[in-house]
Amino acid sequence: MSLFSLRTEPQKIKAHVDDLSAKAKLETRLSDLFISTRKRPAIILCIGTDRSTGDALGPLIGTHLSRLNLPHLHVYGTLDEPVHATNLGDNIQSIHDTFENPFIIAIDACLGRLDSIGCITLSDGPLKPGAGVHKQLPEVGEAHMTGIVNVGGFMEYMVLQNTRLNLVWRMSENISSLLTHSFLKVRYEYR
């Protein structure tokens, strides 16, 4: 059997925002991703809008990260300049026009099962933004993170509008911290 025919299964890790040991697994996986792609420009693409409480997760994360001014970590999607359904394609094109072979981690809020609310996921492969509200948008990223902010399956737009800001804020702080720690760890330990 050729080495090229071996395929690894895509990884998906899920951790509740309050589960420290599970979040440590997320941070380890993020570090592994940053290590394996450290010679490529790192892009964090935060998708969402501040016009909906539930969908503000991405722009909040982008704002937290952009305020840190981390060297060599490029952040798209903040409260000031959100990346949302109407400008996602333009932002993806801008990233590819600006950076050669970028490594993109896409981040978005999502809806899920009741027992998954408050969970953060990290998955290999592209994000399919807008799927929870039945929008056809371009897939993006070699890896993606989601925050499950509320329950899905019925009146998704109304559910996103009525999501508790406290949960979205806590998740944004946690995801920002996970990304920051893993990025800095790789940046300074593997020079």
Identify the band that residue 88 occupies on the pLDDT scale cut at 50, 70 and 90.
very high
| SS3 annotation, 66-131 | HHHCCCCEEEECCCCCCECCCCHHHHHHHHHHHCCCCEEEEEEEEEECHHHCCEEEEEECCECCCH
Quote the pLDDT of residue 139: 94
Asked if residue 5 belongs to a domain, the reply is: no
DSSP-derived 3-state class of residue 59: helix
Q: What is the pLDDT of residue 162?
A: 87
Domain housing 124: 10-189
pLDDT at residue 4 is higher than 60: no
Q: How far apart are CA 162 and CA 159, in angstroms?
A: 5
Confidence band (pLDDT; 50, 70, 90) for 5?
Answer: very low
Q: Give me the count of residues in the chain.
A: 191
Contact 149, 167 (CB under 8 A): yes
In a domain, 83, yes or no: yes
In a domain, 170, yes or no: yes
Label residue 161 by pLDDT band (50, 70, 90).
Answer: confident
Higher pLDDT, 3 or 41: 41
CA distance 189 to 45: 24
What Rg, from alpha-carbon coordinates, does the chain have? 16
Note the pLDDT of residue 178: 97
Q: Report the CATH number at residue 55.
A: 3.40.50.1450
pLDDT at residue number 190 = 61
Check residue 132 and give its pLDDT. 63
Residue 91 in tokens: 């932002």
Asked if residue 159 belongs to a domain, the reply is yes
Structural domain count, the chain: 1
In the chain, the percentage of residues whose pLDDT exceeds 70 is: 92
Q: What percent of the chain has pLDDT over 90?
A: 79
Q: Is residue 3 part of a domain?
A: no
pLDDT interval class at 8 (50, 70, 90): low
Q: Where residue 163 falls among pLDDT bands split at 50, 70, 90? A: very high
Mean pLDDT along residues 164-170: 96
166: three-class secondary structure by DSSP: helix
pLDDT per position as a tens digit, 111-143? 999 999 999 999 999 999 877 666 788 999 999
Cα(142)–Cα(45) distance, integer angstroms: 11
Q: Is residue 4 assigned to a domain? A: no
